[in-house]
Structure 1
Amino acid sequence: MPAPVQAFFDADRTAEGAFPADAFAPDATVRDEGKAHAGRDAIAAWWQAAKAAYGHSSKPCEIAEEGGTTIVLGRVTGRFPGSPAMLSFAFRLHDGRIAALEIGA
């Protein structure tokens, strides 16, 4: 698993995980629950709000590479309907950092 992706899942392992700022490029984007978050500050706010709302943790189960995208299937557990759920995390990396992340079912 690429180092920034591993850093993401290491931080997301617990409900209290701290935002892994160094894993993200300064101009990174995250798409989750139909919303886009651009830049580290916005992504950090999304991370903290999601942790507060859902108290979730995730564990990677499968990993694949497709056309420059690292796709991780992860088991996410928390305070939300349907927990635990298997979600797809699609990471695009640039210069050793996460440039884009899209989370979906």
Structure 2
Amino acid sequence: MNLPAPVAAYFEADGRADEAALIAAFAERAVVADEGATMHGRAAIGAWWRAAKAKYGAVAVPVAQAATAEGVRVEARVSGRFPGSPVTLAFSFRLDGAAIAALDIGAAEPRA
């Protein structure tokens, strides 16, 4: 899969549990929306990611991608310590040059 560089960096860092590399993929004022919460800026995104890793131990593996008007939508198989694992989630990335400006994580639409 040929993901844009910051998106590939996000998934690679997540898989290695490398917080510094994951945070570096985001713009300074990036926004992440996940599980009904919104995190603003790298410090908040780092705190969110650490808490999620500690709680769920989740790992996301991209399985499909589609270009959007603002960036890319990636469907990823997410496995970890949570009911129903593994699940497929949609990661919608808005890019700003070589950085992630926004990430919205939610349910993937069922495939026909």
TM-score of the two chains, using structure 2 as the length reference? 0.89
Q: How big is each residue's C-alpha offset from its partner over 1:12-55, in whole Å with a ceiling of 9 and x where there is no partner?
A: 225xx022121000000000000000000000000000000000
Structure 2: how far apart are the matches of 1:32 and 1:60?
17
* SS of structure 2 residue aligned to 1:12: helix
TM-score of the two chains, using structure 1 as the length reference? 0.95
Q: Which structure 2 segments of 5+ residues have no match?
A: 108-112
In structure 2, the residue matched to 1:18 is 18
Aligned length: 103
Structure 2: how far apart are the matches of 1:95 and 1:7?
14
In structure 2, the residue matched to 1:73 is 75
Which of 29, 38, 42 in structure 1 is aligned with 2:31? 29
* SS of structure 2 residue aligned to 1:26: strand
Q: Which structure 1 segments of 5+ residues have no match?
A: none
2:99 pairs with 1:97:
yes
Percent of aligned pairs with the same amino acid = 51
Q: Alignment RMSD, CA only?
A: 0.8
Structure 2: how far apart are the matches of 1:39 and 1:71?
21
Larger helix proportion, structure 1 or 2?
2
